[in-house]
Amino acid sequence: MTPERWLADQEAFARDVDSRDPLAPWRESFHLPRGDDGRPVIYLCGNSLGLQPRPAREVLEQELDDWARLAVDAHFHGRTPWYTYHETLRESGARVVGARPGEVVMMNSLTVNLHLMMVSFYRPTPQRRKILVEGPTFPSDLYAVQSQLRHHGHDPEVDVVVVRPRDGERSIRTDDLEGVLDRHGDEIALVLLSGVNYFSGQLFDMARIARAAKARGCVVGLDLAHAAGNAVLHLHDWDVDFAVWCSYKYLNAGPGAVGGCFVHERHGADVSLGRFAGWWGNDPATRFQMQTRNRFVPFAGAEGWQLSNPPILAMAPLKASLEIFDAVGMEALREKSLMLTAFLQNLLDRTPRGRIEIITPREPAARGCQLSLRVLRDAGELFRSLQLEGVVGDFREPDVIRVAPVPLYNTFHEVWRFASILTRLIGAS
């Protein structure tokens, strides 16, 4: 069978699966960017910025209307009172990451939350002061880790332990992470890993790694920027100490949207735990007794780490998005995601050899939506050609194109169209 005939058969398969997809109607809940020809682009960039949910505008306009209509009184008399607005995200936010109510609060941005968590959970001693990360490390995480070490008077060149793939490999073996913990666990204060590595797309076995780290007395923290809304998570059951994430990628809350933070309930109940404090983390019963109280009394749970009153206009789109996640469910999303990404991998395996290499793990359980494609020559040129064909992915220096078919709004036929365009471009170069 010729490659052209095989691809034609795969198009029929894609259309058939789309016609039977129970999640297909949810695509209409999102605004689809369009190209100059008026057709929707092939948007495979949800790993960087998720699409706008259609209900987001209505939810946001409600808050703007309440601001115009009620001004300060909207804090208590708005249709969704601002004073308790963050509480409306408490349970839906917890469900997305497998937490219990009270263990999750939506606040700040990812790196701010990471610093706040390290204030409480990175407590170095002369014998145990190292921080373990994976490589490549997302730069903002690495900067935060380095600055925390310097703040405590330690040397990042010595005290950052980076676990990388073996020579000639693209993914980190869980055995290698466990080996580092076996050998150096008594020196490691904090294990800080991504749920999904931003560059390779590897989904880590977080439960197994957490068990190994806890067995050696290490605190376990996770950056779930590429995992929240992408993978099925069970943070409470995995006994993770803390986690942070952004909500503008797979959670579709808009550019720079408010982030999320998980604190395990055993820590949330410990009001004596050291932290940086602000008035919104204070017990609500005494929060407004400003002239009569001068002692911070933290609210029990993750909300006790809040600093400032919630940014309502940044939370409103997240509220709209989490309602969609509640209606669909992470298990159903993951089931479709596994099929979409497997279909994409199968199509890319048939592209002409010698131009691209998939560096994301081939095992479905070891990846989320994203596939990272290493381009073996003329990477920038190939990426620009894809853009001209109406494909939206993203490029990471020096030679990696990341594409992520998102189950809420991407279709199997879009995946087929992308693979067909890529095959044609590779064949013509």
Task: Name 105's bridge partners.
Answer: 261
State which of 327, 354, 383 marks the end of a domain. Answer: 327
State which of 272, 301, 327 marks the end of a domain. Answer: 327
Do 24 and 102 belong together in one domain? no
Look-up: residue for tokens 């494609």?
373
Provide the domain count of the chain.
Answer: 2
Cα separation, 106 vs 302, whole angstroms = 9
DSSP string, 205-219: -HHHHHHHHHHTT-E
Task: Name 132's bridge partners.
Answer: 161, 191
Give yes or no for a contact between 280 and 310, defined as CB atoms under 8 angstroms apart: yes
Do 169 and 182 belong together in one domain? yes
Cα separation, 220 vs 222, whole angstroms = 7
Query: Residue 372: which CATH number?
Result: 3.90.1150.10
Do 141 and 263 belong together in one domain? yes
Whether residue 37 lies inside any domain: the answer is no
If you average pLDDT over each of 1-15, 279-293, 411-425, which comes out highest?
A: 411-425
Look-up: residue for tokens 């209606």?
327
Do 144 and 10 belong together in one domain? no
Do 255 and 299 belong together in one domain? yes
Report whether pLDDT(290) > 80. no
Do 217 and 83 belong together in one domain? yes
**Per-residue tokens: 78:** 């708005």
Q: What is the pLDDT of residue 219?
A: 98
Whether residue 47 lies inside any domain: the answer is no
Do 224 and 343 belong together in one domain? no
Q: How far apart are the first and last CA of the chain?
A: 23
Residue numbers of the domain that contains 267: 60-327
* Mean pLDDT value across residues 346-371: 95
Cα separation, 177 vs 212, whole angstroms = 9
Cα separation, 418 vs 281, whole angstroms = 47
Whether residue 68 lies inside any domain: the answer is yes
Whether residue 36 lies inside any domain: the answer is no
Do 91 and 197 belong together in one domain? yes
Q: What is the pLDDT of residue 352?
A: 87
Do 390 and 270 belong together in one domain? no
Give yes or no for a contact between 44 and 387, defined as CB atoms under 8 angstroms apart: no
The DSSP symbol for 33 reads P
Q: What is the pLDDT of residue 287?
A: 84
Q: What is the pLDDT of residue 117?
A: 98
Whether residue 45 lies inside any domain: the answer is no
Q: What is the pLDDT of residue 286?
A: 83
Do 262 and 141 belong together in one domain? yes
Cα separation, 321 vs 311, whole angstroms = 16
Q: What is the pLDDT of residue 1?
A: 61
Torsion, CA 96, CA 101, CA 102, CA 108, rounded to 10: 30
Mean pLDDT for all residues in the chain: 96
Cα separation, 89 vs 422, whole angstroms = 40
pLDDT tier for residue 2 given thresholds of 50, 70 and 90: low
Q: What is the pLDDT of residue 284?
A: 86
Do 20 and 118 belong together in one domain? no
Report whether pLDDT(87) > 90. yes
Whether residue 46 lies inside any domain: the answer is no
Q: What is the pLDDT of residue 362?
A: 97
Alpha helices in 30-105 (DSSP H): 55-70, 74-77, 90-97
**Could you tell me which of 206, 205, 192, 121 has the C-alpha nearest to residue 162?**
192
3-state secondary structure 113-130: HHHHHHHHHCCCCCCCCE
Whether residue 48 lies inside any domain: the answer is no
pLDDT tier for residue 425 given thresholds of 50, 70 and 90: very high
State which of 286, 309, 327 marks the end of a domain. Answer: 327
3-class SS of residue 18: helix
By mean pLDDT, which of 44-58, 168-182, 288-302, 394-408 is the weakest?
A: 288-302
Quick one: what percent of the chain has pLDDT higher than 90?
A: 91
Report whether pLDDT(65) > 80. yes
Query: Residue 99: which CATH number?
Result: 3.40.640.10
- The string of pLDDT tens digits covering residues 30-54 is 999 999 999 999 999 999 999 999 9
Strands 242-245 and 260-263: antiparallel
Confidence (pTM): 0.96
Report whether pLDDT(3) > 70. no
Cα separation, 10 vs 412, whole angstroms = 10
Do 194 and 249 belong together in one domain? yes
* Mean pLDDT value across residues 71-97: 97
Q: What is the pLDDT of residue 63?
A: 98
- The string of pLDDT tens digits covering residues 193-244 is 999 999 999 999 999 999 999 999 999 999 999 999 999 999 999 999 999 9
Whether residue 109 lies inside any domain: the answer is yes
Give yes or no for a contact between 380 and 374, defined as CB atoms under 8 angstroms apart: no
